[in-house]
Amino acid sequence: MNFWKALLAIDRRWIFLFVFLALAVPMFLNVDFELSISREVQGLYDALDKLQPNSKVLMSFDYDPPSAPELQPMADAIMKYCLKKRLRIIIMGLWPQGPIQANMALARAFADKNIDQSEYVYGIHYVNLGYQAGNEFVIQRMGSSFYDMFKNDYAGNRYEELPLMRGIKNFNDIDFSINFSAGYPGTVEWVQIAVDRFHVRLGAGNTAVQAPQVYPYYNSGQVVGLAGGMRGAAELEGIFAYNAETDVVYKDRGTKYMLSQTIAHAVVMFFIVVGNIAYFVIGRKDKLKTSK
């Protein structure tokens, strides 16, 4: 077997090893870089930045742990920003695991030394309504009544006992909505029902896999801002860090993981190039043999 054929038949565990090193080693490096901010992430930031303190922001956490590496840094950064800006946060989930992921984002926000948890009262400044089964029909029903979908919050408190929820009947009482989505139900359903039908202003954080499906809605203005994949997370952290007037630390895991993703992409591209060179060299040799 010649060199190129041997290269094509390389044991896949070697590839696994290179990918592992590409992902793991950068996590221990401390490389500082300034990311350029894309138009869609800027749109998300601008929409949040324009909100007045005490504006009501609905956050729907529609993902689970497998998508958390991309979406959790986005949720962390936005949660910190909303708390620091004194926005009132209403959390919900169309995925069962979503509200728990929201609690993680809250915990990380409150762990920041510049956000004093004692200043934020559950039920007044933020609420976690929990998960509701029914996918897009939950969104549709919320268009007429939040109460009918969430009679109790995540911890079992009654809706009417939560001061933040007393003045909220439906989407008309919400100033801005953000959806962190990894698939169905997610941003597409929020756009089709909440935005198109009830005229909700929506921003979205999506996995890299889902983001291409959401771009048409961003370009049409149905989604005012969009953060896609790890890059979106890192850009969000970057823009909040750059524009923040406070000492809150926004640059976090999204920025850190970007380096891992960069090296991993480079390794994958390298293997694809090598694979193609081997493919063409072998093909050319075979052609020459046949012609002889």
155 sits near other proteins (criterion: CB under 8 A): yes
12 sits near other proteins (criterion: CB under 8 A): yes
261 sits near other proteins (criterion: CB under 8 A): yes
Query: Rule CB under 8 A: which of 187-246 touch other proteins?
Result: 197, 208, 211-213, 215-216, 218-219, 229, 231
Our CB check for other proteins shows the closer of 50 and 265 to be 265
Q: Which of 16, 46, 124, 163 binds other proteins (CB under 8 A)?
A: 16
The enclosing H or E element of 288 equals helix 253-291
Our CB check for other proteins shows the closer of 55 and 103 to be 103
**Cβ neighbour number for residue 163 with a 10 Å cutoff:** 13
Tokens in use for 15? 């590839």
138 sits near other proteins (criterion: CB under 8 A): yes
Our CB check for other proteins shows the closer of 85 and 225 to be 225
Between CA 149 and CA 171 the distance in angstroms is 13
Residue 76 phi, psi dihedral angles, 5° rounding? -60, -50
103 sits near other proteins (criterion: CB under 8 A): yes
| C-alpha torsion sign, points 207, 209, 212, 213 | negative
269 sits near other proteins (criterion: CB under 8 A): yes
Query: Rule CB under 8 A: which of 22-81 touch other proteins?
Result: 23, 33-36, 38-39, 64-69
Our CB check for other proteins shows the closer of 176 and 217 to be 217
Between CA 169 and CA 205 the distance in angstroms is 25
Please give the DSSP secondary-structure letter assigned to residue 125: T
Min dist CB 62 to other proteins, Å, is: 15
CA proximity to 144, closest of 197, 188, 95:
197
**Cβ neighbour number for residue 110 with a 10 Å cutoff:** 15
Q: What is the DSSP string of 71-107?
A: HHHHHHHHHHHHHHTT-EEEEEESSTTHHHHHHHHHH
Q: Which of 120, 147, 184, 271 binds other proteins (CB under 8 A)?
A: 271
83 sits near other proteins (criterion: CB under 8 A): no
Min dist CB 119 to other proteins, Å, is: 19
Which range, of 83-91, 103-111, 170-178, 245-253, touches other proteins by CB under 8 A? 103-111
